[in-house]
Amino acid sequence: MIYRESGQFKKTYEADQAILPLRTDQIFMVGVLLVAFLVIPMVASNYVMNALLLPFLIYALAAIGLNLLVGYCGQISLGTGGFMAVGAFAAWNLATRTELPMPVIFLLAGLITAGTGVLFGLPALRIKGFYLAVTTLAAQFFLIWLLQRPWFNNYSPTGVISAPTVDMFGWTVDSVTDRYYLALIILVIMALIAKNIVRSSTGRKWMAIRDMDVAAEIIGIRPMATKLKAFAVSSFFIGIAGVLWGFLYLGQLEAEAFNIYVSFDVLFMIIIGGLGSILGSIIGAAFVVLVPIFLNVVPSAIGLPLGTAMISYVEIFIFGVLIIFFLIVEPHGIARLWSIVKQKLRLWPFPY
Amino acid sequence: MMFFFEVLIGGLMSGIMYALVALGFVLIFKASGVFNFAQAAMVLFAAMFMAGMYGDWGVPYWLAIPITILLMIGLAWVIERFVLRHLVNQEPIIMFMATIGIFFAIIGFAEIIWGSRSRTLDVGLPDDMLFIGDMLFQQYDIVTALMVAVLVVLLMIFAQKTRMGRVLRAVADDHQAAQSVGIKLSTVWVVVWSVAGVVAVVAGIVWGGSLGVQPVMVDVAFKALPVLLLGGLTSIHGAIIAGLIIGAGEALAEVYLGPIIGGGIDNWFAYIIAMAFMVWRPEGLFGEKIIERI
Amino acid sequence: MAANAADVTSRARSSEVLLKVEDVELRFGGVRALRGVSFEVRRGEIFSIIGPNGAGKSSMLNCINGFYHPTSGTITYKGQPRKAMRPYVTASQGVARTFQNIALFKGMSTLDNIMTGRHLKTKATLLENAFWFGRAKREEMEHRKFCEEIIDFLNLQHVRKTAVGTLPYGLQKRVELGRALAAEPELLLLDEPMAGMNLEEKQDMARFILDVNDEFGMTICLIEHDMGVVMDLSDSIVVLDHGEMIGQGTPEEVSNDPKVIEAYLGVQEEGEA
């Protein structure tokens, strides 16, 4: 393994501020994208795409959104599920009640969610920490209740409605491969946007608020505007994730599918993957999607098959323990462990 | 009018349940500044062990309850040893997220042992009807209210009069200062989490007795949080009063407001009461004012 | 910068009053942290507020940058009187500061901390940042260049990309100064810039303060209880004790004032003896 920065001199600040300053990282990233776009669709079965890859991609998007708020701006939120529901239902209602093209619907659904996020972020002016956690819980319960009102599902007798087929730029997103591609493209674009935001002045303001809000205000950062911006951007991401969850993954919508435990799942992803890391959000999503599979496969393989119920109990327990473990050992999660490995590789075979 | 009072009393009774959970939160927050999201999971844990030991192993309640109390003390020790100790001086938000981890670890553990089916928990509290004047009461409610009153008085005596209580208050004021005068933080934390555990046992008996024991019980956590904010994070009597206000408020709202705007509003109504109040007084009814320093 | 240095002498003598504090009183409940404090800071000078612990020095600074609001009295900055103002507004008018207990953004690198200090100069919108086009990229490069100059000036090159939480105390103080400088303030408030430093670090810091005043032409208002350093640095001095002004003037005048000697210097010498 050759992972070196020696010989790569940056001659401009621009090169130094690039997202991936090291050539090895650039090559690696290109490789990952090639695999994601070309290899996986060829080798993965429909089941794997539907049950693993789609939820992973969509969860990763939601996790990036939440991480912008929690990991970068330091404002905790337990309302992710509720905001995803807002995105999904906004898109569904726009699609049913208007003739707008799909990309516009996606965008509007994201903006509506952003507005909702700002509304519930308003208390962040006066309160912080656990108080904010409780306010966002209120958002979660209130939004789910609100979206169960008959108007939002167009008076469907069962309360369950089916999502329309996504049609954009002349591409009918129907087969599972199509849906995989759409989710992947949106994730890649939005991850890039998130990365741009966090390395810009906006991102630095968020981190300043996170690290010491009083000092941030004294150097001229407006706390309210900055926090609300974080709520808006975060909710936008989460709203789009909600649209994808309803339209591409579930195929049908009901508000209860976005309950409080969805919020917790996404929170787990960013804690395990790494608070304050875009890459970490993606790794965390993969981890949370894989653990149940792992629990299904491994115990049977070693001759100790677990019942379905038992698997879910063990899963709850393991996630609880992992959260504690990562918060104690490495609050920056798997992403930090990864960068430590890279740091070591950079010097390998010398210890220092 | 009669109907109004019955709804009101029903609401006050569920308010007592919320208050019981909120009480556990307050104790831990007062003594350690940790916002313990896992309190409701501790209630579930206690209730599942009491009901499970009785139902599956035939352990009588007079034995199952003390065993559960010991178990809660053991749990407090485990939490201190494996979680809190490693997070001293961490940011509150990290501590808070860690208690979310504890929440899930405890629930998962209890479910691995007892499964998730619903059980009954009847420790023999009287549950006959009782008429006072024209009004119909459940004896169970009255006994419960009395138990809670006694518990609160005991806790207040503990906090105000005993040496340990004074130590707890000292630690709450300033971790480092308390350590520097020779108070051992780890002991204090085990004690206070144990006390919160005992409160959880009482809450488990009361709550499980009226609604049965099943994992959805932890949803009461989501009711106890607004109670906590309304009462103020550090006030024992605040938790009780806020519990009663929210219990009564949401019961009345469900009956009188529900038909107008749609049912099921009790899921969030408590939050609206608490948040509306906090806009006016962020520290809650009886909480200490938060002063910002630099 | 050379041109700036040439102006300095004239500016130091300029009589333009940048900040005027008149009869300021600050009460917390029954405690009077400041009573009837008045002074003037002229553009281009190094102005010091000194006094023993608890004299109200930090309260005074907090009033100036809007973190506290005086109970009565007026503060006039650049000819505009003001009373209640949020700190970020003060900052946008060209007041930057450092803190007695370092208030850096611990999770961020040295470079990012200093770049954050410069945010008042950025105009790129969220959308430009999101797509890294237009002003977003251009400004980022301009500010990076400016911040690199500050890093060079403060000798912080080797810790440019280190998270500040892990830096030693003296370096953190320097990063904090850098963050304040990045805003190119007209008035720089320094809250005990040398507290807790050893002699060598103090000398370094004194050098930086003089250089900032010289090269960038910034007006500096600092508070300090270490008399020795202040006497060498300052153009003029105000002495506070128990919230009251007990002396004012040039370093020589202050150090010969019997009231100051009694309230402050006497105690200091006993303490150090």
pLDDT tens-digit series, residues B233-267: 777 888 888 888 888 888 888 888 777 777 777 77
In terms of pLDDT, which residue wins out, A346 or C230?
C230
- DSSP for B181-236 reads TT--HHHHHHHHHHHHHHHHHHHHHHHHHHH-B-GGGGGHHHHHHHHHHHH-TT-H
Does residue A107 lie within any of the structural domains?
A: yes
- The full set of domains in chain B, from first to last, is 2-280 (1.10.3470)
Does residue A30 lie within any of the structural domains?
A: no
Tell me what percent of the residues of chain C surpass a pLDDT of 70: 90
Query: Please, which pLDDT band fits residue C89 given cuts at 50, 70 and 90?
Result: confident
CA dist., res. C126 & res. C123, Å (int)? 10
The answer to whether C151 touches C110, Cβ cutoff 8 Å, is yes
**pLDDT over threshold 80, residue C263:** no
| C-alpha to C-alpha distances, A88 to A238, A248, C178, nearest whole angstrom | 10, 11, 46
Tell me what percent of the residues of chain A surpass a pLDDT of 90: 22
Are C179 and A204 an interchain contact pair (Cβ–Cβ within 8 Å)?
A: no
State both tokens at C98: 């450092």
Instruction: Label each residue of A217-269 as H, E or C.
Output: HHCCCCHHHHHHHHHHHHHHHHHHHHHHHHHHHHCEECHHHHCHHHHHHHHHH
Structure ipTM over 0.90, yes or no: no
Average of per-residue pLDDT across A133-149: 85
Q: Which amino acid is at B85?
A: R
Query: Please, which pLDDT band fits residue A306 given cuts at 50, 70 and 90?
Result: confident
**pLDDT over threshold 90, residue A169:** no
**pLDDT over threshold 60, residue C267:** no
Average pLDDT taken over every residue of chain B: 80
Are C130 and A220 an interchain contact pair (Cβ–Cβ within 8 Å)?
A: no
- The full set of domains in chain C, from first to last, is 1-94+186-273 (3.40.50.300), 106-184 (no CATH)
Residue A80: its pLDDT value, please?
A: 92
Instruction: Label each residue of chain A as H, E or C.
Output: CCCCCCCCCCCCHHHHCCCCCCHHHHHHHHHHHHHHHHHHHHHCCHHHHHHHHHHHHHHHHHHHHHHHHHHHCCCCCCCHHHHHHHHHHHHHHHHHHCCCCHHHHHHHHHHHHHHHHHHHHHHHHCCCCHHHHHHHHHHHHHHHHHHCCHHHHCCCCCCCEECCCEEECCEEECCHHHHHHHHHHHHHHHHHHHHHHHHCHHHHHHHHHHHCHHHHHHCCCCHHHHHHHHHHHHHHHHHHHHHHHHHHHHCEECHHHHCHHHHHHHHHHHHHHCCCCHHHHHHHHHHHHHHHHHHHHHHHHCCCCCCHHHHHHHHHHHHHHHHHHHHHHCCCHHHHHHHHHHHHHHHCCCCC
Does residue A20 lie within any of the structural domains?
A: no
Are C115 and A17 an interchain contact pair (Cβ–Cβ within 8 Å)?
A: no
Query: Please, which pLDDT band fits residue C5 given cuts at 50, 70 and 90?
Result: very low
- β-pairing, C95-97 vs C187-191, is parallel
State both tokens at B9: 């009393």
**pLDDT over threshold 70, residue B172:** no
Tell me what percent of the residues of chain A surpass a pLDDT of 70: 88
The answer to whether B200 touches B43, Cβ cutoff 8 Å, is yes
Query: Please, which pLDDT band fits residue A347 given cuts at 50, 70 and 90?
Result: low
Question: Would you tell me which residues 219-248 of chain B have a C-beta closer than 8 angstroms to some C-beta of chain A?
Answer: 222, 225-226, 228-229, 233
Query: Please, which pLDDT band fits residue B101 given cuts at 50, 70 and 90?
Result: very high
Least confident window among A192-201, B276-285, C113-122: B276-285
- Does B26 reach chain A within 8 Å, measured CB to CB? no
Does residue A27 lie within any of the structural domains?
A: no
Domain residue limits at A207: 45-347
**The CATH number of the domain where A317 resides is what?**
1.10.3470
Residue C7: its pLDDT value, please?
A: 44
Residue A349: its pLDDT value, please?
A: 58
Does residue A318 lie within any of the structural domains?
A: yes
Query: Please, which pLDDT band fits residue C264 given cuts at 50, 70 and 90?
Result: low
Q: What is the pTM of this model?
A: 0.86
Does residue A334 lie within any of the structural domains?
A: yes
Residue B150: its pLDDT value, please?
A: 86
- Does B94 reach chain A within 8 Å, measured CB to CB? yes
Residue C8: its pLDDT value, please?
A: 43
pLDDT tens-digit series, residues B197-225: 988 898 888 888 777 788 777 877 778 88
Tokens 């202040």 map to which residue? C230
**pLDDT over threshold 70, residue A184:** yes
Kindly list the residues from chain B whose CB atom is less than 8 angstroms away from the CB atom of residue A317. Answer: 104-105, 107-109, 111-112
Query: What distance in Å separates residue A141's CA from the closest CA in chain B?
Result: 6
Does residue A238 lie within any of the structural domains?
A: yes
The residue in chain B having the minimum alpha-carbon distance to the alpha carbon of residue C61 is B294
Query: What distance in Å separates residue C142's CA from the closest CA in chain B?
Result: 32
Alpha helices in C18-160 (DSSP H): 57-64, 87-92, 110-117, 126-131, 135-153
- Does B276 reach chain A within 8 Å, measured CB to CB? no
Least confident window among A144-158, A197-211, C34-48: A144-158
When divided into structural domains, chain A yields a total of: 1
